[in-house]
Amino acid sequence: MAAIDGKILLKNNDCYKEYDKMTPKGIVVHSTGANNPNLRRYIAPDDGIIGKNEYGNDWNRPGEDVCVHAFIGKDKNGIVRTYQTLPFDICCWGCGGGSKGSYNYDPAYIQFEMCEDDLTSESYCKAVYEKAVALCVYLCKKYKLSVSNIVSHKEASERGYASSHGDPENWLPRFGYTMDRLRKDVRERLEPRTLDKKGFKKGDKGLGVLAFKQLLILAYAKGFVKTRVKNDDLYEEKTVKAVNELLKGFGYRESGTAGERLIKKLYRKLR
């Protein structure tokens, strides 16, 4: 899943014009609090994908005292997409301030809005949540952010760094999505799990390895891996490399170990 599907910078927003540079320290997750899931409600001009705002109330205008780095919502065909709307290294005007300060400035957080619908569609909520996870993973990787610094507007306000709002906890938990779950999902993507703790590993030799390498040879022939291994019974460096390619492709940690789970997955893929 793409973390960012499009980019329309809101250059006419006063926030963009101020262009306060920042080094991101975390992420604030918002939801809009209004029943309008369409990106075009907030973003303009139309790039042919999001559709045109017919009411002139988008945020790409002077005089709006609010702006965020990205939005997640529907394009004109109802497909849920993530659009970047500010450079990620300038301060946004997303969360207001609290007793200790504001995550708009120091420490400055990247902030995005999830466009609410009428809060009754589970499938829409799920699609938005998954895009939010993907965006957080991307941003955490790119800016080396700590997952514990991903907060909702509500949590930011409880920490004293935002105005008093309840988003997006007014919405996500209706379908079982919480901020703790979001942080857990992001953490898991950033630190892939180990598929097999036990299995063939570097230095192993024998009939079992020979049989497993036949699968790797087949995987190479089918283009599933780029590393070509020798047709023998030794689990050497190239076998490790091919196994890690597979593990990475399946979304697991590159442990170099080929156990029962990997072999089953590979077998299913080759069938």
Which residues are near Zn ion by CB under 5 A? 30, 153, 165, 167
Our CB check for Zn ion shows the closer of 168 and 199 to be 168
C-alpha count within 13 angstroms, C-beta hemisphere, residue 210 = 4
Our CB check for Zn ion shows the closer of 30 and 40 to be 30
**Angle CA(93)–CA(10)–CA(26) in degrees, nearest 5?**
40
Dihedral sign for Cα 250, 251, 252, 254, please: positive
Smallest distance, Zn ion to C-beta of residue 30, A: 3
Smallest distance, Zn ion to C-beta of residue 34, A: 11
Smallest distance, Zn ion to C-beta of residue 190, A: 24
> What is the token pair recorded at 81?
């997409």
Smallest distance, Zn ion to C-beta of residue 66, A: 9
Tell me whether strands 70-74 and 80-84 are parallel, antiparallel or unpaired: antiparallel
Smallest distance, Zn ion to C-beta of residue 61, A: 20
Our CB check for Zn ion shows the closer of 69 and 153 to be 153
Smallest distance, Zn ion to C-beta of residue 108, A: 16
Our CB check for Zn ion shows the closer of 16 and 103 to be 103
Question: Which among 159, 126, 217, 124 has a CA at the least distance from the CA of 26?
Answer: 159
Smallest distance, Zn ion to C-beta of residue 116, A: 11
Question: Which among 136, 138, 162 has a CA at the least distance from the CA of 149?
Answer: 136
Are residues 86 and 145 in contact, defined by beta-carbon separation less than 8 angstroms?
no
Sheet architecture: strand order including 26-31? 6-7, 80-84, 70-74, 109-114, 26-31, 150-152
**H or E segment to which residue 240 belongs:** helix 237-250
Other Cβ atoms less than 10 A from the Cβ of 246: the count is 22
Our CB check for Zn ion shows the closer of 32 and 60 to be 32
Radius of gyration of the chain (CA): 23
Our CB check for Zn ion shows the closer of 33 and 259 to be 33
Instruction: Give CA–CA dist 31/113, Å, rounded.
Output: 5
Our CB check for Zn ion shows the closer of 108 and 219 to be 108
